[in-house]
Every structure is written in C-alpha cells, then in structure tokens.
Structure 1
Amino acid sequence: MTEARQASCASWTPSSLAPLVSGSSSGDPTIVTALVAAALLAAATSVAPAGSATSVAPAGSATAGAAQAPAAPAGTGLESPRLEAGSSSTAVAQFWARIARDGAPLVEPLDAARQLVTFLWRGTDTTRNVRLFWSVRLVGTDTPWLTRLPGTDIWYKTTRLPRGTRLSYQFVPDLDVAAGQSRDALRRAILAGAQPDPLNSRQWSNDPSAGGSGVASILELDGAPRPSWQPLPGPRPAGALTWQRVTSATLDNTRDVAVVRPADAGRTTARPWRLLVLLDGESYARAVDVPAMLAALAADGRIAPTMAVLVANATSTSRADELTANPRFTRFLADELLPWIRARHPVSAAARDVIVAGSSYGGLAATAAALERPDAFGNVISLSGSFWWAPERDAGPPASRNPFAEANAMAQRVIAWPRRDVRFYLAAGLLEAGTTDEGSGILDTTRHLRDVLRLKGHDAIAREFAGGHDYLAWIDRLADGLVALDPH
C-alpha cells in the first residue's frame, strides 16, 4: 500500500501519543491518531511554507441561488470577510478582542450546503509555522499549513466544510520539518507538538488520564447532530469493564480483552444476551464509555441486553497484519474467542445475536470475518472501514505489489461469493474522500460496497456523516449501528 494509505488506517488514540513520543516500547506505532494520516498526507517531506497572504482554501464554487457570504475586497486573497477585517496592522487588536469574546474558528455562511471555516493561531515574533492536525481528507489539493497574514500576528487557514460537520482537531506550532525527513521522525514531531486550539473553549479528550496529549478541540457547524445517547444519571457501576487475557493457538499470541456485562447482569433474563465483539478494544476502552452506552441504550428500550467484548491488538505490530482481512484472525474470533466467551457468560449461541464491529482497519476486519464465517457473525458494524484495501496492491513485500490492482477486496468477495445471511451497518464520513495520489478513499469504497451488498440481496444499512476519521464521530455511529441492527 502507499505510505499515505498505510497512515490512514491508524485508529485515533491520542492517549497513545505519550509512549510514542517518548519511545516507550509499550506505545503502539500502528495505532496512531487518524489525524496523523491527514497531516502526513499533505507534503509529508516538504518544508513549511513561508507566511503569505495567498488563500489556502480548496477550490469550489457556491451553489447558484443560495445565500452567499459577502466577498472579501478584491486583491486581498482572503475568502473570509471577518478575517479581512483584521488584515491591516491597525485592526489586529480589535480582531483579537473579538476572537477572545466569540472564540475560534471563524464560521461564516457560504451556500446552502457548506460553511466557510477559518482556523486561527496567534503567533509570536518567533513563530516559524503552524500545522492543522485533523482527521479530514479533502478532495483535491489541500494543505495542512496555516498562512501568516503579512504585517500581523494572525496565522490562518480557510476551508469549506459541509453544514452539519462535527469533528476534532489540534494544532502543531513550530513543527520541525526538513527535506528527506523520515515519516517516523515526522510522526513523532507531530505527536510531540500537537495541542488543542487555545482560542476554542470546546474540547474533548478520549482519555482523561492522558493529559494534554489526549485533548483535542471540537468544531461543530450548523446542523451538527446531537448525541444519540446520554449516560444514565448516577455513579458509573464499579467493575463495569473487566480486562482478561486470552491466548490464541491459531495466531500463536496472547492479547487483552475487556468484558462488559449488561447493567442488569445480576438479574435472571428470559433470553441469553446479545454479544458485541468490538475490535481495536484498547482504543475503544479509552475513547468510548462502552458500559455507559450499552446501559443507556438498553434502559431506553432501544436494544436488548447486550454484552460487549473489546478485543485489543496483541502487539504493537500485529494490527496491520491481523485486521487486514486475515483469515487466521477470523478463525481466532470464531473458533477460539466465541467459545471462550460462551463458556463464561450466558450469551446467545445464535449468529444472528452476534455483532462484530470496528473502525478503519477494524471495520475491514469485521466485514471480512462475517463474510467468511456467517455461521458465527450475523451482524457487522463498520465505521469508516478501510475498504480501499486489496491484497494484490496493499499486502506482501513492496516489490510484489501491483499498484494497478482493483481496490475494495470486500466488494469483490461479495460479488464472487454466495449471499451470506448477514446484516450490515456501514458508516463513512463525507470528509474521508480519496485523494489524487491514491485513488478511491473510504467514502467512495464504502458506497461501492453498500451498492454491491444491496444488489446481492443483503440487508445493508448505510449512514454518512459530516466528519472525518474520528472517534468523536464513531461514538454516535456505534450507538446508531447497535440500534439499527437490534431485532426487537
């Protein structure tokens, strides 16, 4: 696979940043924030641009007849009228006073479908560059670098995003980038310097114990959906998530799994529990309060009592091998993990009551597992699944790969194999498009798989959200998938 594709598969786990930066062996270099992929994608080995007044917004025109933002004066190169107001040295103080009062980023109307968003950083005399670090992959040419407004301390990046966007982002000021710098060195530099937007009071952390490294800022545009669930009132039950070790003879390794029993586990139930098998379990344990989610959805009557097993990756290097449609990993899940679970917990033995779920590579692995073993897994939740993956192009030694091979191995399997008795929930972000250097992206290949599944007669539920490769979006999509696939 191309380097950009390899990077795009990383799960977003800011809590892993500290060990990665420090070089600790406990850090998982394959489970790096998905924001790294977007940051590395644009000129991974280029030097930061010098500050200029040239607009860095991607090309695009406003919808005809829709309400549009007033144009900035001709010759300024600025799309944002509000930024134009602070473009002169005499107006800078008033500009920053308004930002201190109203916050950032700047959000302005553009047309019926999009809004104009300008990210801001207040520089100093020594600021050399500022990089936007986020989970977005835009079609066409886009740069992660902010531009300095000449004669001011204003650094900015203006872009066009769909209404309803909800995503997280960070900034990396004074990033050391040099020609010929290795990808690993660049990644470490980005992770070491990433921080939330000091001008934006809305923040989110997927791991409170991670401190600053786990904190990102939140951008929400008009029409962003409200959270689909809320934690139940009262204290969180003690011991709701219990870690255990599971050894696999098939994979010849041992890994952690976290067991989440239903909130009413102490009561006698008329039927066995449904089961959620969630891949990248260590990441989801940090990013999502799975016990609270399952308890809230069950209490509202939206799902039947469901037990979850969060399956962690075995080692820092196993993820890229095991989660790329690896049949040995599927055998581990179906023939070793499921019997281990059923020997200890009253979960249903029926495949229709088992959901296998994951995001990014995890979504790919979940889909592959259900297609290969429909006797074990009757439901799939794929969140931003890496369906661009194809073994001929993206697996094996680099010299043996075929860069012209067709993408989307899962769609090819659906076409070639008999119909499976499996239900699918596929979600992808509008800001997960392909780029000119790598062809089809997550959004396009998810749409392709959706269409192929439906043509083959599968029950395929598809959702698209205004966001990127981002746990902030996946939290609600996971809940929505559980509800959509619940039979009661």
Structure 2
Amino acid sequence: MKPNYFPIHSIFQQKNLGSETWWNSVKEIGTPLVVKQTNQMHCTFLWRRHTSTEVVYIDVYSQSPSIYTQWNKFQQIEQTDIVYFEIELPHDWSGSYVLVTSMETAPATSDAQIRRQWWQRQLQQHAQIDIFNPYPAYPAQVSRWVNQIHLGEQKAFHNQSNVLYQQLEWKSQLLFVNYPVDLYQSAALTETSPFVIFLDGQVWSQHLSILQQIQELTDCGQMRPASYAFLHSINSEQRCLDYGCRDLFSQAIVEELIPYLQQHFSLSPSTPIILCGQSLGGLCALHSLLLYPNAFQGLILQSGSYWWSDYSKSKFLNGHTQCFLEVIEQYLQPIPNNIQIFIRTGTYETDMREDSHQLYAKLSSVRPTHIHTFVGGHDAINWKHDLIDTLQTIIS
C-alpha cells in the first residue's frame, strides 16, 4: 500500500475516519462505495476488522483475479479498523461476490490444488454476510454466504416474493436418498400446460426466488399456466455425485420423480416436460436427455460443465476418457425432433462460453437448437435474469 493512500471515495476525506459515526454513514450509503468514472465504476468494498490478526479476502465473480492464481486481500488503513478492497466494474453491472475472514494467512504457493482446497474450506466455514450491502445475501453450494452487487438499479431485486409454494419430500427407492422438492402451479392447468423441473431448485424457489416473476408474467398473459418442481441438491458432495453423469440419478428422475409429480399435479402422461440446470446441473440435464430422449420436450442449459470427463458412475458412457463435448456426438441421433434445446452462457465466461458454442454446433446439426449469450458470468445472479427470459420464451 502506498504511504498515506486512501480510496478515492469522498467518505475517506472525513476527519472521523473509523469512528462509530463514520461506520454508520457507510451503512447509510451501502457498499460497495461507488465513484462513477468515464468507462467504469470505481468500487470500494469495506470490512470492519475485529482483531489485528484477522485477514479478509474477496472474490468478485467473473471480475477479480482468480484466487487460484492471486489472493484478493483487503488492505488496512493504519490506526483504524478499516480494511478495504478496490476494483473497477462495468457500468450497470450485476453479479455476486464472497467475503472470507480468516485468522490464518492464505498459503503462499502456486499449487492450484492447495489453493483451491484452502479457499473452499474458508468458503464453507468463514464466508461472511456483508452487513453494509443493501441486498440480502444468499447461501450457495460452495460458499455458505454469497453477496449481491447491482450497479444498475433496473436489474436490482430484493427477493421479497410473497408467492406460496408447497414443500414435499421425494424418497427415492433407487438412490436411497430423500430429496426436498418445492412445487408451484402458476394457474389452472390445461392438457398442454408444460411442467418444468429445476435442478438446484432451492436456488430458484427460495434463495433467489423466481416465483414472483413467473406469477406476474402468467397473470399478464406473457407465459402460459404451468407447473414447476424445484428439486433440491442436498449438499456439495451429493450434488457432485448426482449431477456428474450418474446414470442412476437420471433414471430416478425419469422413473420415480416424474411419475410421482405427475400424479401429485394430476398431469397427463403427454404433458411436455422441461428440464433446467446450471453449471453441473446443465451437464446433468443434457446427460439425462441422452439416456432418455423421449422423456423430455425441452432443456434449458445455462453455463453447462461440458468439460466433464468422469464417467465412473455411468455404464452408458463407460470406457470414454474424453471430455463430454467429445463424447456427445456418438449419442445425438436418437434425440426426437419435438425437443426444444436452449443453450445459455455468459459474456464473462471464457472456456464455458466456447464450450457452449461447440455444443450448439453439434446439437444444431441434428435438430433446431437455440443459443444465447447473456450479460454476466458464471453467477446465479446472472442466471436468474436469463432464466426468467428463457422461461418466458419457451412457455409463451
């Protein structure tokens, strides 16, 4: 840190720096503290340090340097309890970040595996809610808390959905696991009303609920009435097992979950079923289609993990050593022509965006496929806005 350096926001020019009055003014303004510049926003994140040994790290998804190559450590203003981190972000940017406080300094090694293990442990145990941030934090699979950023007010949301949903428990006989499932019906159904199943469903029914937007779009006639099932992922380990090309999990969805929910909703066997997943969930949805091409009439694949190459849980793909993208061509022919496939990827995703376009080229050779690049990165905040737009397209 430069001698006598202070962040450029005007609040750092006050004489009562670090006092209770100063911290209260920070809370009134809200973080990150933003200074508008010509091409970008200069953003300052703050943390009130509790002890002299506390170290604070941040990862601004898709924007800050990767923590696998560089630790993004907060700097301290001397003789105060203020620590801060500065970064420039695009105008009207929406996304997420994680804050970690630790009593141990991050390992000074270039070994990506060691860095990853340390960081993931911190995310599970020491990820923090930014109390100065005006938007509610939400839990995620890897981090116990994720914080929101919305520099463009038109995209901001407070997740204050008053729409009620029903909670059930699916007791899988094939998997010997009980999965929570949230159910929602937007209006009285017809025989052609679609049925949407969301992997990582707790994100979309609870943590970053899309129910209010679904209801509003249905009420104004921009979406048809539909039924929705939000299948919870229990924890990171079970999620990785289930979503990582596990034949038995896809079988359980088709042979157990879908009939169970069809009976609950009193749905016709001909009801069109749409399966939706993000990241590893996108891989799972596509793998399920390859196994059961007649079970689904639509897929929504957001930022799929098509780099996957572990097929130890798949007799269907057994023997392959390539990544999923290189394997898929051998299994495309059975896909029926009535299936709609929507591939989505973010502008800030590099490898995954390229993989998504490769997947589009492969799938579009055997049937009509849609692809769209949304503004953002590998981030639930960005998935949410794109998911609502995609649902409106497929259910309109």
The residue matched to 2:355 in structure 1 has which SS? helix
Unaligned runs of 5+ in 2: none
Residue aligning to 1:429: 346
Deviation at 1:139, TM superposition (A): 6.2
| 1:71-110 aligned within 5 A | 81-82=8-9, 86=12, 92=17, 96=22, 99=26, 102-110=29-37
Deviation of residue 298 (structure 1)? 1.9
Q: Deviations over 1:45-95 (max 9, x none)?
A: xxxxxxx34xxxxxxxxxxxxxxxxxxxxx9888x6438x949x9794699
Kindly indicate whether residue 307 of structure 2 is the aligned counterpart of residue 357 of structure 1.
Answer: no
Question: How far, CA to CA, are the matches of 1:299 and 1:306 in structure 2?
Answer: 12
Q: Distance between the aligned counterparts of 2:125 and 2:361, measured in 1?
A: 41
Aligned pair 1:417/2:332, yes or no?
yes
Q: Secondary structure at the match of 1:304?
A: coil
Separation in structure 2 between the aligned mates of residue 418 and residue 474 of structure 1, nearest angstrom: 29
Provide the residue aligned with 1:386 in structure 2. 305
Q: CA separation of 1:327/1:286 partners in 2, compared to 1, >3 Å: closer, same or farther?
A: same
DSSP-derived class of the 1:204 partner: coil
- Identity value in percent: 19
Q: Is the 8 A contact 1:236 1:292 kept in 2?
A: yes
Q: Is residue 157 of structure 1 aligned with residue 85 of structure 2? A: yes
Q: Which residue type is aligned with residue 260 of structure 2? A: W
Structure 2 CA distance, aligned partners of 1:313 and 1:197?
25
CA deviation profile, 1:188-220 (whole Å, cap 9, x unmatched): 4443332222333x121447xxxxx97654321
* CA–CA distance in structure 1, aligned partners of residues 65 and 106 of structure 2: 26
Pair 216,316 (structure 1): closer, same or farther in 2 beyond 3 Å: closer
The residue that corresponds to 2:168 in the other structure is 243
Partner of 1:18: none
Q: Is 2:61 the counterpart of 1:131?
A: no
8 Å Cα contact 1:256/1:311 also seen in 2: yes
2:91–2:151 CA contact under 8 A, matched in 1: yes
Report the counterpart of residue 221 of structure 2 in structure 1: 301
Q: Deviation per CA, 1:95-150, whole angstroms, max 9, x where unpaired? A: 957745533213234554x4332222243662542111554465675433112245
Matches within 5 A, 1:242-281: 242-249=167-174, 252-258=175-181, 260-265=183-188, 269-281=189-201
Q: Secondary structure at the match of 1:477?
A: helix
Q: Which amino acid aligns with 1:425?
A: F
Q: Which residue of 2 aligns with 1:310?
A: 230
Aligned residues: 378
Residue pair 1:426, 1:450 contacting (<8 A) in 2 also: yes
1:219: which partner in 2? Answer: 149
2:135–2:158: 8 Å Cα contact kept in structure 1? no
AA aligned opposite 2:254: A
Alignment partner, residue 331 of structure 1: 251
Cα distance in 2 between the residues matched to 1:454 and 1:107: 43
Structure-1 residue corresponding to 2:369 = 459
CA distance in 2, matches of 1:151, 1:315: 42
Give the aligned partner of residue 210 of structure 1.
none
How many Å apart are 1:412 and its aligned residue? Answer: 4.6
What is the RMSD computed on CA atoms of the aligned residues? Answer: 4.1
Q: 1:405-424 CA distances to partner (integer Å, 9 max, x unpaired)?
A: 764x1465147622733322
Trace 1:17-56 onto structure 2 (pairs within 5 A). Answer: 52-53=1-2
Aligned position for 1:62? none
In structure 2, the CA distance between the partners of 1:475 and 1:376, relative to structure 1 (3 Å rule), is: same
In the alignment, which residue of structure 1 is the partner of 2:356? 446
Given candidates 131, 136, 144, the residue that maps to 1:204 is 136
Q: Is the 8 A contact 2:26 2:132 kept in 1?
A: yes
Checking the alignment, whether the CA contact within 8 Å between 1:165 and 1:224 is kept in structure 2 is no
Q: 2:73 aligns with which of 145, 155, 158?
A: 145
Deviates more, 1:92-101 or 1:153-162: 92-101
Cα distance change on mapping 1:454 and 1:341 into 2, 3 Å: same
User: Would the aligned equivalents of 2:172 and 2:252 in 1 still touch at CA under 8 Å?
Assistant: no
Distance 1:321 1:93 in 2: 47
Could you say which structure has the greater relative contact order, defined with CA pairs below 8 angstroms and 6 or more residues apart? 1
Query: Residues of 2 paired with 1:375 and 1:311: CA distance?
Result: 21
Unpaired segments ≥5 residues, structure 1: 1-51, 54-74, 208-212, 434-439
Q: CA deviation at 1:304?
A: 1.7
Counterpart of 1:347 (choices 247, 267, 270) is 267
Distance of 2:48 and 2:238 partners within structure 1: 41
- Distance, in Å, in 1 between the alignment partners of 2:246 and 2:93 is 34
CA separation in 2, counterparts of 1:117 and 1:123? Answer: 19
The separation in 2 between residues aligned to 1:86 and 1:264, in whole angstroms, is 52
Measure the CA separation in 1 of the matches of 2:96 and 2:84. Answer: 17
Deviation of 1:242 (Å): 2.8
Which residue identity does 2:150 align to in structure 1? E
